[in-house]
C-alpha cells in the first residue's frame, strides 16, 4: 500500500502542483485548504506524512503542529512557508514540525525531504525505554529528561536532538549527520540551525552550574562526553 500524504495549502495552484507531483511518485494524496479541516483529517485519517503551510484560514499551520503534538500525534510534518528567518525556523520546529521548506522551493527538494521523512518511520524504535549518560536520564515513553534528578523542560526538537546525542555517546557527530538524522535530510548549504539548538540545549543542561556534556569539535561538529 502506498504512503498517504496530507497536503495542507490554501493556495490552490500550489496545492494542485504538489498533489500532482506526489501522485506521479505513487503516493496517495489528500488535499486541504483550511486549518480546522486539516486538523480533523490528520486526527481521523492518520496520514503517513503532512506537508503543512504556515499561513492558513481559521488556524495556522503552527497551531496545527502544536495541537497534534500535545495530543500525542507523531505524524511527520514538513512545514512549508515563505518565512525564512532563523527565529521563524526555530519557532516552527519547536512547535513540533520535523522539517522546514521555504517558498519558493523546488519540487525535487520537497520530494527528497518527504522521502527522507517517510524512510525514518519505524526506524527509530528502541527496545529500551530510557537513555542515560552520566547524571543525564531520558525517558522515551514519557519524554521526560532529568539531570542530577532535576527535571529539564525541552522543546520537541531539543528532545530529538538530545536523543540522537544520547544514542551515540562519545561519537563525534558532524553537523550534516545531525541534520540528516534529527531534521531528516542532508543539507549541503550554509546553516546554523544545529548550532542554535546546541546552544539552547547546553543552556538547559548546564543550569545550576552543571558541568558541560555537549562539547564542540572545531571544524567537525559535536560530541557527548564528560
pTM of the model: 0.61
Say what the pLDDT of residue 153 is: 93
Q: What is the mean pLDDT of residues 157-171?
A: 91
- On average, the pLDDT of the chain sits at 86
- Domains of the chain plus CATH, in order, are 4-120 (3.40.50.2300), 130-224 (1.10.10.10)
Say what the pLDDT of residue 69 is: 84
Burial group, residue 13, by CB count within 10 angstroms (0-12, 13-18, 19+): exposed
At how many degrees (to 10) do helices 86-94 and 156-167 cross?
Answer: 80
Those residues whose C-beta lies under 8 Å from the C-beta of residue 20, and which sit 6 or more positions away, are none
Burial group, residue 97, by CB count within 10 angstroms (0-12, 13-18, 19+): buried
Does the pLDDT at position 214 exceed 70?
Answer: yes
If one counts every other C-beta atom within 10 angstroms of the C-beta of residue 175, the result is: 17
Say what the pLDDT of residue 86 is: 67
Kindly report, residue by residue over 7-65, the tens digit of the pLDDT: 999 999 999 999 999 999 999 999 999 999 999 999 888 899 999 998 999 999 999 99
Are 225 and 215 in contact by the 8 Å Cβ rule? The answer is yes
Closest CA to 224 of 161, 144, 152: 161
Amino acid at each position: 500500500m502506498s504512503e498517504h500524504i496530507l497536503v495542507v495549502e490554501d493556495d490552490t495552484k500550489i496545492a494542485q502542483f504538489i498533489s500532482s507531483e506526489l501522485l506521479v511518485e505513487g503516493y496517495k494524496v489528500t488535499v486541504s485548504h483550511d486549518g480546522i479541516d486539516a486538523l480533523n483529517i490528520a486526527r481521523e485519517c492518520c496520514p503517513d506524512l503532512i506537508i503543512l503551510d504556515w499561513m492558513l484560514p481559521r488556524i495556522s499551520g503552527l497551531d496545527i503542529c502544536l495541537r497534534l503534538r500535545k495530543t500525542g500525534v507523531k505524524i511527520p510534518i514538513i512545514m512549508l512557508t515563505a518565512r525564512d528567518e532563523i527565529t521563524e525556523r526555530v519557532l516552527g520546529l519547536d512547535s513540533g514540525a520535523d522539517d522546514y521548506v521555504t517558498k519558493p522551493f523546488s519540487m525535487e527538494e520537497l520530494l527528497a525531504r518527504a522521502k527522507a521523512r517517510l524512510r525514518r518511520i519505524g526506524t527509530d524504535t528502541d527496545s529500551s525505554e530510557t537513555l542515560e549518560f552520566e547524571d543525564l536520564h531520558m525517558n522515551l515513553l514519557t519524554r521526560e529528561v532529568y539531570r542530577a534528578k532535576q527535571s529539564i523542560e525541552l522543546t520537541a526538537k531539543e528532545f530529538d536532538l538530545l536523543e540522537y546525542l544520547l544514542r551515540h555517546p562519545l561519537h563525534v557527530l558532524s553537523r550534516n549527520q545531525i541534520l540528516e538524522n534529527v531534521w531528516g535530510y542532508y543539507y549541503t548549504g550554509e546553516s546554523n540551525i544545529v548550532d542554535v539548538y546546541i546552544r539552547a540545549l547546553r543552556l538547559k543542561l548546564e543550569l545550576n552550574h552543571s558541568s558541560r556534556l555537549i562539547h564542540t569539535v572545531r571544524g567537525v561538529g559535536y560530541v557527548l562526553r564528560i
